Amino acid sequence: MRHPVLLAAIVIAAPAAAQAPSYQDAAQIDRLVEGFTGNAIGTSGGARAPVDRRLRLQTCSGPLALDWYGAPGRTVQVACPGAGGWRIYVNLVREAVAQTSQPVVARGEMITIAVRGRGFSVQQKGEAEEGGAVGDWIKVRTSRKAGSVRARIERPGLVVIPSD
């Protein structure tokens, strides 16, 4: 008599487990981009940074498609083809940037922090908590009491937080 009750519990629990959301592994995307470009993250020709672990991309039912986006060597498009598909773009470290990556922002420097999205841009003064070169992701904050966030150095004195 115990077996039918146990079986009923498994059958009832199975649909609930099947409905749990499943997300694409960002580390897998990093490995695929590395294999596609032939270069490791942070190196010349490789991804500038790992894929953001906060992304909640639906698990792709088939293999991911990788291709150059725009000029080869600048950006890789990673796409999940088919129904409910998605795509992301991974920026690469360019040769010229890798060879001449000289710091343009110093730790403690007052900078402009821009948040950019589709159809809007907001700017605020802030402070760099780290130094870096154009294209580097550094920690910045808007005030002494505020927590830090990561932003990409676009040019001397300006960092950008993309909002796409």
Domains along the chain with CATH numbers = 21-95 (no CATH), 101-162 (2.30.30.760)
- Total length of the chain: 164
Please tell me the predicted confidence (pLDDT) of residue 96.
Answer: 54
The answer to whether 157 touches 145, Cβ cutoff 8 Å, is no
Give which of 121, 115, 163, 113 is closest to 138, Cα–Cα: 113
> Is the pTM value of this prediction over 0.95?
no
Please tell me the predicted confidence (pLDDT) of residue 19.
Answer: 59
Residue 130 neighbours by CB distance under 10 Å: 17
Please tell me the predicted confidence (pLDDT) of residue 1.
Answer: 47
Positive or negative, the CA dihedral 147, 150, 152, 156 is: positive
CA torsion angle 150 80 45 25 (round to 10): 60
β-bridge mates for residue 47, sequence order: 92
Please tell me the predicted confidence (pLDDT) of residue 143.
Answer: 82
Intervals of the chain under pLDDT 50: 1-14, 16-17, 97-99
